[in-house]
Structure 1
Amino acid sequence: MKKSFLNSIIFLIFCILILTLVLFQVQKTQREIENLASLPPLFFESKREKIILLFVGDIMLDRGVKNKIKNYGQGDFKFPFLKTSQFLNEADLLIGNLEGPISDKGKKAGSIYSFRMDPMALEGLKFAGFDILTLANNHILDYTREAMEDTILRLKEAGIDFVGAGLNFKEACFPKVKETKNTKIAFLAFTNLGSSFWQAKENSSGICWLNEENLKKGIKEAKDKADISVVLFHFGDEYKEKANLTQRYFSHLAIDLGADLVVGHHPHVVQEIENYKGKYIAYSLGNFVFDQNFSKETMEGMALKVLVVGKRIKEIFPIKTKLNRYFQVELVK
């Protein structure tokens, strides 16, 4: 009997201890919930994975830039990017406009302002960390389709993606989707500069021509395949610091069709950024690496840092750049 009574006491003490521990844990959990409830929303966003997209302006590694590389950079095409490579490589995706072919093929078919970059230029672009280059511009065919097609093959071999031109219509005008940190981002590129005869066809190479039909098809495809859709335009008037009506029309149309961000190139000077229906339009990023040292404006540019959180564009940060007398790009402090 005494043994049975003792066992009952021990069991009762054990139950009290268990109950005390449970109550303690419940109170602790309740306090944690109350503390979390008092935290600002930004706390939770900081815990999500952040993605940094970095867009830069026109890149041309021929002519005066090539001469500086030869005379002051020992022929190393990393030279223009030496002062910004660390900054550039911090981005999850780095995107720019390649203003002309990278090739040793083709013959000059453009004006006196025709560019063809040495194949060694690819080493500089890889060093800088470029992930995507847009080829939809008025210089990619300066040395005929042969040089453009060679450029496409060289970029593929180098592991650098491209948009806005291709060996056929689908490659030129369909989105390039990049996945990073479980977020799919689609990139499209278009231009309405040059000749409409340059546009890619079903079975022939060329650029993606900017018109309503191509824009609608491309954005629909991008939205079907990705979380975020980015449209790159090569448009506008050279050396004008304000976007023209055509730029505004197609940029607004892109947003209306579902694009999440629009980035422009071609004017060689920085133009304004517009917030249209809660989405950003950077009309022109100006020159990134170029040899137009005839004005202060053409020696300046903008890098557009885009913060993506929770599969959405959360914020943008315009960052000023400038070119020194050796045509090396630097950040403006």
Structure 2
Amino acid sequence: MFYIKLDSDLNITSKYNADDRLKNKYCYEISNIFEDEVSELIKGRKNYTTQIIFEHCIDFKCGIRGSGFYLSQYLYFLNSYVDKEVLSNILLKNMSKKTIQSIIEFYSTLPSKYFSLFRPLSNEVNGLILEPFTDLRDNSLIDYIVHLSVLEERVFLIRYFLNGRVKYMVVGGQFEDREYDSLIPYLFENEISDLNIQEIYVENPVINFAGDTYFGERYTEKRRIKGEEDGLMKYGYCHSFSDINNFFGKDEFNIVNFEASFNTSQYSPFIKQKGYLLFAEPMETIKELKSVGFDCICLANNHTLDFGENSLTNTLNIFKENGFYVMGAGENQKEANKIIEINYNDKKIAIFNGYWRNHHYTKYGFYSLSNRAGVNLLSGVLFHQINLYKKKNPNAIVFCFCHWGRDFEPVHKYQKYLARRLIKSGADVIVGHGSHCIQNIEVYHNKHILYGIGNCVFNSDGEYNEKNVLPYGLLIKLDIKDLTMKLYPIFINNLKNFWKPRYVFEDEFVELKNFFEEGKDINFEKDCLGNFFKIKVGT
């Protein structure tokens, strides 16, 4: 990836990996087309309704297909929906090479009446709503965005406003999955190399991880209305952890994914949109999490923003005020992208916490973008910062704690895609949660991927019988001194154990051994806590 930032006078204010781009001429093939056509408009030789006719059909995907377009349509579709295949059907001649400075100067002097050609708009085509650059458009973050190139790498020119002043940025890279939609606004006020690291020094090398956790106030409220009883109602907050709290050593560092909001009101912007809105009682929750021994709260999940930004801010503040480290969400994108670095003697582990569930990205706006509060997106900024961190700290263990997948279902193909990108970026081990059930373990490039460790304490009814999935979760004990990871299985079917997880019995452990039989380099042992699987971390 490279970028160049400029002020309104086209002075370079910062740059990243851009020296070659500034010194040499490149072929910005889409920009060549735009400059030719817009110049024709300015000179009056063409107008917006001029027909652009091709000898063969051009397929822009998304239902946009034809051999003839109005000039304004053609430029808009080319800017918003172009890819290598589309461009190969359009280019009929060799394109000239230009300097990046000359391209920026052309667009910076463009009369404002032509900006609309490069402004992302929502359109309906054949009954399908098309939304290019979704969050850049929806949040009015940009004045316009020009797609300069796509053949070698995607390159964009963006005109935007910061503190009331016009700014320009050129950014390019091997972007996938529209990650530029979240990466570009991050760069408005931040540098990709400015890693937001919170250093923590420990005297014990053991770090424990717990998956999806929620004491269940929302579910208890519904059961009370139905005249049903559950563990929280009958015994209180200290009930659910009572059989497994010896796992979380008081002198060890304990991390949990917490799935709820300390809501400031009963109103939620997602009422009638989102199926489950999880609220929590703050003081009782804090008291029990402290009693168990948790040190760090991960919030990159699909319930942190259930009651809006004010409740998210309230949740963040309450955890911090009570001495917890917090990661995975924030009042802005940089805070949400915080890295927790744990140091033990000369060993260190960097923990990255991110979230993916695709419909929340476009539908609910859960993700933090630029200065919007939200959760950390498992996408562009995170990938690049993993890569940067690993280059700066080659001997550190990069641990990705990911919330992803679909409830009570096997590994989704997009989880596999993300996992591979994380490892290629520099991740050493990936531990996933979010599906509320265990999922497969995979080895990729000698790195372990635990796609789903299931629930810890999560007091819903569950769908284990309905979906025919195993009712187990995994507690993770990572030793950064000897680079081993122990996976302790727990039984988590609330309807059979009255909302109190326990360590598995021998026959249940055998069932899990069969489930993980395809996993590589997994040993199994037993200690005072019970049966566990053992994995070597790193290479």
Q: TM-score range by the shorter chain?
A: 0.7 to 0.9
Higher helix share: 1
Larger Rg: 1
CA distance in 2, matches of 1:91, 1:330: 22
SS at match of 2:240: helix
State the partner residue of 2:405: 236
Question: Conserved in 2, the CA contact under 8 Å of 1:141 and 1:148?
Answer: yes
SS at match of 1:198: coil
State the partner residue of 2:353: 189
State the partner residue of 1:33: none
State the partner residue of 1:151: 315
CA distance in 2, matches of 1:96, 1:137: 12
State the partner residue of 2:37: none
Q: 1:292 to 1:170 in 2, by over 3 A?
A: same
CA distance in 1, matches of 2:259, 2:253: 19
Identity of aligned residues (%): 25
How far apart are residue 51 of structure 1 and its match? 2.2
Q: How does 1:1-333 map to 2 (within 5 A)?
A: 51-62=205-216, 63-64=218-219, 68-73=230-235, 75=236, 77-89=237-249, 92-105=252-265, 107-110=267-270, 111-119=274-282, 120-193=284-357, 194-196=360-362, 197-221=365-389, 224=392, 227-241=396-410, 243-290=411-458, 291-295=460-464, 297=469, 299-309=471-481, 313=483, 315-323=484-492, 324=494, 325-333=497-505
Runs of 4+ in 1 over 6 A off after TM superposition: none
CA distance in 1, matches of 2:481, 2:414: 32
Deviates more, 1:50-59 or 1:186-195: 50-59
Structure possessing the higher relative contact order (Cα contacts under 8 Å, 6 or more residues apart): 1
The answer for unaligned runs of 5 or more in structure 2 is 1-202, 222-228, 506-539
How far apart are residue 151 of structure 1 and its match? 0.7
Deviations 1:28-70 (A, max 9, x none): xxxxxxxxxxxxxxxxxxxxx9722222211122233677354
Question: Conserved in 2, the CA contact under 8 Å of 1:185 and 1:227?
Answer: yes
CA distance in 2, matches of 1:70, 1:327: 8
CA distance in 1, matches of 2:463, 2:370: 41
Deviations 1:144-169 (A, max 9, x none): 11111111101101222122111111
Total equivalences in the alignment: 279
Question: Conserved in 2, the CA contact under 8 Å of 1:101 and 1:142?
Answer: yes
CA distance in 1, matches of 2:443, 2:322: 36
CA distance in 2, matches of 1:90, 1:236: 31
TM-score (normalizing by structure 2):
0.48
TM-score (normalizing by structure 1):
0.75
What RMSD over aligned residues (CA atoms) do the two structures have, in Å?
A: 2.5
The answer for unaligned runs of 5 or more in structure 1 is 1-48
How far apart are residue 106 of structure 1 and its match? 5.9
Q: 1:229 to 1:303 in 2, by over 3 A?
A: same
CA distance in 1, matches of 2:348, 2:265: 35
Question: Conserved in 2, the CA contact under 8 Å of 1:186 and 1:222?
Answer: no
Which one-letter code corresponds to 1:302 in the other structure? L
Q: 1:298 to 1:142 in 2, by over 3 A?
A: farther
How far apart are residue 264 of structure 1 and its match? 0.7
Question: Conserved in 2, the CA contact under 8 Å of 1:136 and 1:190?
Answer: yes
SS at match of 1:79: coil
Which one-letter code corresponds to 1:94 in the other structure? N
Deviations 1:255-290 (A, max 9, x none): 121112111111111001112222211101111112
